[in-house]
Amino acid sequence: MKDAQPSTVYLKDYRVPDYLVDSTHLHFELQPKATLVKSQLKIRRNPDAGEGLPPLLLDGVELELLSVSIDGQLVPASRYRELPEGLSIPVDKPAFVLEIHNRINPEDNTSLEGLYLSNGMYCTQCEAEGFRKITYYPDRPDVMSKFTTTIVAPRQYPVLLSNGNEIERGATEDGRQFVTWEDPFAKPAYLFALVGGDLQHVEDSYTTSSGRKVKLQIFTEAKNIGKCDHAMRSLKKAMRWDEAVYGREYDLDIFMVVAVDHFNMGAMENKGLNIFNSACVLASPETATDSSFQRIESIVGHEYFHNWSGNRVTCRDWFQLSLKEGFTVFRDAEFSADMNSRAVKRIEDVSMLRTAQFAEDAGPMSHPVRPDSYMEISNFYTLTVYEKGAEVVRMIHTLLGTEGFRKGSDLYFERHDGQAVTCEDFVVAMEDANGVDLTQFRRWYSQAGTPVLEVTDAYDEVNGNYALTVKQSCPPTPGQEEKLPFHIPLAIGLLGADGGDLPLDTSGTRQVVLQVTEAEQTFNFSGLLEKPLPSLLRGFSAPVKVRYGYSTEQLLFLMRNDADEFNRWDAGQRLAFMALEQLQQAYRREETLKLQPQLVEAYRSVLQNRDLDPALVAKMLALPSEQTLAEEAEKIDAEAIIAARRFARAALAEALKGDLLACYQRLHTDKPYSPEAADIAERSLKNACLAYLCVTEEDDALALAQVQFDSAANMTDSAAALSALVNHGDTASADAALESFYQRWQQDTQVVELWFGLQSSSAKRGTLENVRALMQHPAFELKNPNKVRAVIGGFANRNFTQFHRVDGSGFKFVAEQTIALDKLNPQIAARLVLPITRWKKYGGDLGEKMKTALQSVMDSGKLSADLYEVVSKSLV
Ligand code: 0A1
Ligand code: ZN
């Protein structure tokens, strides 16, 4: 925690580094409370930085400095200055070797940045600015250096890992052992990693397209060694995919993955030594659900893909974070789409974007994909930088086509290999390779907010002309009152009365990407023999909101006929949204609630449609979440949202129970488990049916859940049944199921996390009282981010009903926990507080109560920079 008020860093202030580091030799002597770090840096004046020899400024936080030497000569303490955030050393020659010795305390490091201990295992997390918690260094991504690392440790840590290749190992005179690693690729400090522990590993190998044999290893604690196969399979698929789709090969002889229980994020792409949150790498059919299998595949892919998009070509400064993250999320999404159902993957990603990213973009922390200022960079690992950033890359892909995009990425990697570059460099490579001008498109990087497209149309029967008029606007965001028009690729088709796509030109094209570039623009189509129904924004071709006055009948028609599967789903969502709007209004007027019969019939025909991918059916049967409804609302009326959605779900369950049961029974077979896409799809539909059936709270339905719970041979079925019992069963059977589940799985960290999350996010079970009780459970640990996310995060983010209790107790609870957590782990505290920062979107009393809770965080005393930034920006 810093003493002065955190200061703001601006993109416009970027300057090249004064000094470069040609090589970095690190020497660690691991000890829980006093690890000794010796670093030897070959430093040289940066020729691009100007004249003279300014003092050398090194970043360093919470370090105990022992000594400083230059070219073998001890520098007296009176010569250098220790600053609150580092060290300033006078320089009198343009090139020299600097040696620094310092001590750190991994055991007391609960921030999980720098070097820390997790269940007795040493590990590091250096992105974004964690390396400065290890030793004094120019901790910025445009300083790239070749690292060698020696780790010395007592024998109880037999596994000692760092980046690159192992070049030496042996014993020290006092009986400890050491290992030396050398990474041949220059890299910024944020990609450094070290691991030391008593670990087991599984091993495999991969031969790259040019014939290089790469050793693949996944390290875990012994008890988890049986949970590595899926990650290993995913890794090999990712390596093959990157060769096939991007022509990118792996470049070292070894690739290692380590699973760690205490981790702030999902995983980290350290060069040759990826470190993963255990929950994002370990899986077995008995202990992990299908969605974790899929998540692991995508995260393993993501980290692996960073080897090129992030490591070989890295970021110049942290404002460029989306350069690596947006691009890599796009790459991992395409990888997942190729491995599984493309439409379903798109639906999942867009659902998340529409709820959480749109909400972020409309809230107090709204920022462009390339932010222009920050107080604490950790706060900018956001859905905007990652997911919207990926949408921006996807739009470039849409504009250039698959081949054009590949030409652009080839040029980008070739031109910038070994460099630290900017989002601008990425766009320029795309332009240069294709001879296009993306000047206006660049606004996606600099303007925040979600654009809105108002679409109207007119058909002229006499001459067969159809005119589609698109008006774009974008709401103001902090610091950006006015927005210039975006360049928006709008993919559309026009449906005829038979449900097929009409030809849009003489060549018979049936889908076009309209280039929306002006505030208002009309697109004309001629030769249409009938009035078409537009299918807009196919595949969600841009991260925007589209308004078009569809009638219920038109949406039903699109749901049945649209050639674009994504838009079939989307039509269903629009329809459900309209129905839920009506219910909310009726609720506010205290009228009797009644669900539109057309919606029920639409869901019935989806359920009966055996031609559709079952996973798509499952998605189409799901009503928009409460969070989605809240995001769409002008002002959030939590009570009406809860009542409307609960009523609609119950009415659908009641009306469709015959079909739901038939579908459930058809899909509930004793086929052995496999995590293949087709099987996952069937289980997802089956369990969606089970959940709906149990909404009726009828004995027969709950009995199905009980039988499935008692006999499930995989975690997907077991967790789905448990969830049905917890959310809809009577207290006694829910208690019994939860207890037996815990008894069976208490040794398994990942399953216990699931067990926590299932309760805290339950509208019925996850009352504040129960959530507080879960925090007293022996398996809960405030120092472990996964447990915090499962219990407190599950309540604040996924339990709309209990979190929004009218007495405001949910908000107060989140505020209290944020304050407590800030003392241990500022990054996690700054995320946990987010649900109570959106108070302006709530009307009246609830909004006031939320603001009061937020204010109490501000008034609680000295906050970390991370938390201060979020809270202060949300109170204005
Ligand atoms: N680069 C990682 C994300 C990451 C960022 C920060 C971390 O620690 C605070 C950890 C991981 C990724 O995109 O996977
Ligand atoms: Zn990433």
CA of 386 to the centre of ligand 2 (A): 8
Band (pLDDT 50/70/90 cuts) for residue 247 is very high
Mean pLDDT within 126-138: 99
- Report d(CA 663, CA 440) in Å as an integer: 50
Question: What ipTM did this prediction achieve?
Answer: 0.99
Of 268, 309, 321, 866, best ligand 1 pocket probe by most atoms within 8 Å of the beta carbon: 268
CA of 497 to the centre of ligand 1 (A): 50
Among the bound ligands, name the one nearest to the CA of residue 381.
1
Band (pLDDT 50/70/90 cuts) for residue 5 is confident
**pLDDT confidence of residue 4:** 62
Mean pLDDT within 89-95: 98
CB 660 within 8 A of CB 608: no
pLDDT single digits (tens) 812-864:
999 999 999 999 999 999 999 999 999 999 979 999 999 999 999 999 999 99
CA of 571 to the centre of ligand 1 (A): 35
Q: Count structural domains, the chain.
A: 1
Residue 691 lies in a domain: no
Is 290's pLDDT higher than 90? yes
Residue 650 lies in a domain: no
Residue 720 lies in a domain: no
Q: Which two tokens stand for residue 643?
A: 């009542």
Dihedral angle sign, alpha carbons of residues 121, 189, 864, 849? negative
pLDDT single digits (tens) 463-497:
999 999 999 999 999 999 999 999 999 999 999 99
Residue 92 lies in a domain: yes
Q: How far is CA 129 from CA 85, 141, 318, 757, in A?
A: 12, 9, 10, 30
CA of 306 to the centre of ligand 2 (A): 7
Among the bound ligands, name the one nearest to the CA of residue 323.
2
Q: Domain containing 81: what range?
A: 1-107+143-193
Cβ-based neighbours of 652, under 8 Å, separated by 6 or more: 595, 599, 600, 603, 623, 692
CA atoms within 13 A on the CB side of 781: 14
CB 212 within 8 A of CB 171: no
User: b/e per residue, 638-651, with b = 16+ CB within 10 A?
Assistant: bebbbbbbbbbbbb
CATH code of the domain containing 77: 2.60.40.1730
Sequential DSSP letters for 699-739? HHHHHHHHHHHHH-SSHHHHHHHHHHHHHHS-HHHHHHHHH
Give which of 373, 369, 546 is closest to 442, Cα–Cα.
369
Band (pLDDT 50/70/90 cuts) for residue 2 is very low
pLDDT single digits (tens) 596-617:
999 999 999 999 999 999 999 9
Among the bound ligands, name the one nearest to the CA of residue 277.
1
Nearest CA to ligand 1 atom 13: 325
Among the bound ligands, name the one nearest to the CA of residue 265.
1
Pairing type for strands 452-460 and 512-516 reads unpaired
Q: Which two tokens stand for residue 699?
A: 């004995």
Cα three-residue angle 814-817-821, rounded to 5 degrees: 135
Catalytic residue among 127, 129, 221, 303: 303
Mean pLDDT within 361-382: 98
Is 731's pLDDT higher than 80? yes
Atom of ligand 1 nearest to the CA of 381: 5
DSSP 792: I
**pLDDT confidence of residue 72:** 98
Residue 306 lies in a domain: no
Pairing type for strands 452-460 and 545-547 reads parallel
**pLDDT confidence of residue 648:** 98
Give which of 505, 500, 624, 637 is closest to 557, Cα–Cα.
500
Sequence letter at residue 217: Q
Atom of ligand 1 nearest to the CA of 328: 13
Give which of 170, 104, 92, 161 is closest to 134, Cα–Cα.
104
CA of 268 to the centre of ligand 2 (A): 7
CA of 12 to the centre of ligand 1 (A): 25
- Report d(CA 507, CA 495) in Å as an integer: 17
pLDDT single digits (tens) 507-552:
989 999 999 999 999 999 999 999 999 999 999 999 999 999 999 9
pLDDT single digits (tens) 38-89:
999 999 999 999 999 999 999 999 999 999 999 999 999 999 999 999 999 9
Residue 77 lies in a domain: yes
- Report d(CA 763, CA 810) in Å as an integer: 13
Residue 654 lies in a domain: no
CA of 325 to the centre of ligand 1 (A): 9
- Report d(CA 619, CA 236) in Å as an integer: 29
* Ligand 1 shell residues, CB under 6 Å: 113, 125, 127, 264-269, 302-303, 325, 378, 381, 827
Of 265, 314, 384, best ligand 1 pocket probe by most atoms within 8 Å of the beta carbon: 265
Nearest CA to ligand 1 atom 6: 127
Cα three-residue angle 301-304-305, rounded to 5 degrees: 80
CA of 508 to the centre of ligand 1 (A): 47
Residue 302 lies in a domain: no
DSSP 137: B
- Catalytic-residue membership of 303: yes
- Report d(CA 287, CA 713) in Å as an integer: 10
CA of 426 to the centre of ligand 1 (A): 21
CA of residue 632 relative to chain centroid, distance:
21
pLDDT single digits (tens) 416-430:
999 999 999 999 999
Is 1's pLDDT higher than 90? no
**pLDDT confidence of residue 506:** 87
pLDDT single digits (tens) 437-460:
999 999 999 999 999 999 999 999
Pairing type for strands 165-171 and 121-125 reads unpaired
**pLDDT confidence of residue 843:** 79
Nearest CA to ligand 1 atom 5: 127
Sequential DSSP letters for 347-414? HHHHHHIIIIIHHHHTSTT---SS-SEES-GGGG-SHIIIIIHHHHHHHHHHHHHHHHHHHHHHHHHH
Mean pLDDT within 277-292: 98
Phi, psi of 181 (to 5 degrees): -120, 145
**pLDDT confidence of residue 781:** 98
For residue 671, how many other CB atoms are within 10 A of its CB?
Answer: 10
Among the bound ligands, name the one nearest to the CA of residue 280.
1
Cβ-based neighbours of 776, under 8 Å, separated by 6 or more: none
**pLDDT confidence of residue 535:** 98
Of 134, 381, 825, best ligand 1 pocket probe by most atoms within 8 Å of the beta carbon: 381
Nearest CA to ligand 1 atom 3: 268
Atom of ligand 1 nearest to the CA of 113: 9
